[in-house]
Amino acid sequence: MQLWLVAAFASALFAGIVSILAKCGIKTVDSDVATALRTCVVVVFTWVMVAIAGSAGTIGSISPKSWLFLALSGLATGGSWICYFKALSIGDINKVVPIDKSSTLMAVVLSIVLFNETGDLGLRLAGTAVATTGTFLMIERKSSDASSASERDRRISIAYALAAAVFAALTSVLAKVGIEGVESNLATAIRTMFVLAMAWAIVAGKDKIGLVRGANRHELAFLAASGLATGASWLCYYYAIQMGQVSVVVQVDKLSLLVSIAFAAVVFGERLSRRGSIGLALIVAGTALVAACG
């Protein structure tokens, strides 16, 4: 197995842990504030990795084009996070995470068109179709006796999750262009700076700075752990994006669902229905097909 594919699987593992830790960290903490705080942890972590890699000295040689696309990728990530954690704060992990992962379909199509990733095209598209079908099977409706308030929350969480998926798809494609010729740890750290700026701008714009002081310390610990897991996931993910194929990497990233759902079952008691279980099985099968293309 190629190293970039191993990195993609490692990224999926850490990404799955992120969802659980973040859910624990936003029980009472405002989702926008939570996003900004955990991004601070990611920034520190990624720049520590840059120092270890010794690539900070190459920052002056980064082209204007790379700066532009890394910035756009970072802003898209910020948009995705804001929507994603808002969805998590009001919805179930088993609903929000599958919708967020539907970004894969868009990312695969864009990578085929923009980067000419057409090897084993039939297998690549078939695997993506199977996994996407599984994703939508996991998006379940509430029972008919659910209150109108609960139904409204479900719809709002789905809307935010869909917005997060669109931004996430753009993130991968923009990063592939921006990371070209830039050491992957350094590129990840630079992107994160733009995410940080956007996250705190949103907190300030919504006049939520005062909420930072009142944040629950127990939840802050989970947010910090979530930030570390995010940093590890990103370092693996963007290395895989740089060295490998976007259409394969984004599909492998879907396997983070396995980790998220396993933890959700143990920690939160969230159980998959038969329909959801079939959907998860299709996601795993589709991912296996696409991974074979790498």
Distance (Å, whole) CA 233 – CA 229: 6
pLDDT confidence band for 35 (50 / 70 / 90): confident
The sign of the torsion formed by the CA atoms of 290, 76, 22, 163 equals negative
Count of CB atoms situated within 10 Å of the CB of 269: 7
Distance (Å, whole) CA 196 – CA 201: 8
Q: Which helix (H) or strand (E) holds 30?
A: none
Count of CB atoms situated within 10 Å of the CB of 202: 18
Higher pLDDT, 294 or 283: 283
Residue 170 has pLDDT above 80, yes or no: yes
Residue 278 sits in which domain range? 3-291
Give me the amino acid identity at 42: V
pLDDT confidence band for 140 (50 / 70 / 90): low
- 225-239 confidence digits (pLDDT tens): 999 999 999 899 989
Higher pLDDT, 54 or 103: 54
pLDDT score recorded for residue 141: 54
Please tell me the total count of domains within the chain.
1
The mean pLDDT value of the chain amounts to 85
